[in-house]
Structure 1
């Protein structure tokens, strides 16, 4: 339990936002850490988060998992909006509301309590989706300017051919929106998927510097990817703990 106590005893830090933030919680002190795993469908995000969660909990960390479309207030509305083919900016506003609810009621309280919060996707997926659909990057960034800046952001970069292979291995189907079928890229769903995923990957590489994304080769095996991620996370947490201990002396 040594590491669990270390997280709880960490020196408080002030929330950092991408923009103006949420006014009444701007001065909130936090002790936890926010780590984001980004990547397309079938990239292995959920598998990696499960493995990382187990490892962190075994080391004594309190962990909270979160992700997109998990707000009890908004998630059903997003599904209904998609079923009714709502406009692109309408969907963006739904996702922003979903994210805001989770940020205020799940993520920030957990960070205040000293948890390690693992996010299965964050605002970056939303920014990329909107950009490739022709929505202004400035508009999207401003929409999500209330988001707090994570400590670490990993993007699992997987070739479209490998993604298709993994989808079919699971006897799953190509998702309408994750294939960009709403964009009219191709008459064939498979071809549309390949084009769309290439566009999304290009947008993530474009965002890499601005949002400090760490691009991870997601074409490797699950153990290889996990070893890479865990090594980086362990190194960060050790460094953060050392810095926090020094600050409290």
Structure 2
């Protein structure tokens, strides 16, 4: 948004009580969570981080206090998780529990306090990426749902959908190399990392399609220009905050 443009007046006339997907966190009263949890999902290269940065600027210009969270940002285990991935020494179950610990720590120490304080919490990926990754690796879906029963149900979830062929081009343009895990090399899909990346991201997209039907994501076409996508996100969030239907 340019400095000279009119800033929208974002209002919150009423709040929908929060709830957990399952067992939640002991002692947490959902009615005390007065903030909003906004989730942006999508593969690396889909534009998640850029959109979150723009949304933070916009929300704060409208007078909202914001905090951001994301994968592998826990003060408790993020460094250990990074080292474990570099060594590729963990089983799929152990790695899944590692990520769940990272999420649980952020949930308890950042997400829930932010929601209690009435803040806008923006998540650069949430439990859906973790579940999709594990489902692709053959983990039991019922076990995963129970594991992430501690999670707060977001107020809105956006999934930036970008084709694997476009993702690989964006990744090369930014990093000049493909990531081992984002290419699914641990699955033995192909000896060629480029080919493995395309196959893995296709599998991930299929899982997100399944999860979207269960959790009701708003699918956003991530192939469009950044400003066009951001306008759509702002429009939907404005409707959310005003208690209006989201289209």
What is the TM-score when the length of structure 2 is the normalising length?
0.91
From 219, 223, 247, the equivalent of 2:227 is: 223
For the residue of structure 2 that corresponds to 1:239, the secondary structure is coil
CA separation of 1:231 and 1:11: change in aligned 2, threshold 3 A: closer
- Distance, in Å, in 2 between the alignment partners of 1:210 and 1:30 is 24
Indicate the residue corresponding to 1:36 in structure 2: 39
* Aligned residue number for residue 77 of structure 2: 74
- Inter-partner Cα distance in structure 2 for 1:194 and 1:234: 35
Q: Distance in 2 between matches of 1:166 and 1:202?
A: 20
In 1, Cα distance between equivalents of 2:62 and 2:119: 13
Distance 1:220 1:208 in 2: 21
Distance 1:43 1:2, change over 3 A: closer
Q: Is structure 2 residue 44 aligned with structure 1 residue 57?
A: no
Point out where structure 2 has 5 or more consecutive residues left out of the alignment. 1-6
Equivalent residue number for residue 147 of structure 2 = 143
Q: Which residue of 2 aligns with 1:243?
A: none
Q: How does 1:1-249 map to 2 (within 5 A)?
A: 14-27=17-30, 29-85=32-88, 86-239=90-243
Aligned partner of residue 150 in structure 2, secondary structure: coil
Distance 1:87 1:59, change over 3 A: same
Counterparts of 2:97 and 2:176 in 1: how far apart (Å)?
29
Question: Mind listing any 5+ residue stretches in structure 1 that lack a counterpart?
Answer: 241-249
Distance 1:29 1:179 in 2: 41
Whether the 8 Å CA contact 2:19–2:30 is kept in 1: the answer is no
Identify, as 1 or 2, the structure richer in helix.
1
Q: How well do the aligned residues superpose, as a CA RMSD in angstroms?
A: 1.8
Alignment length, in residue pairs? 237
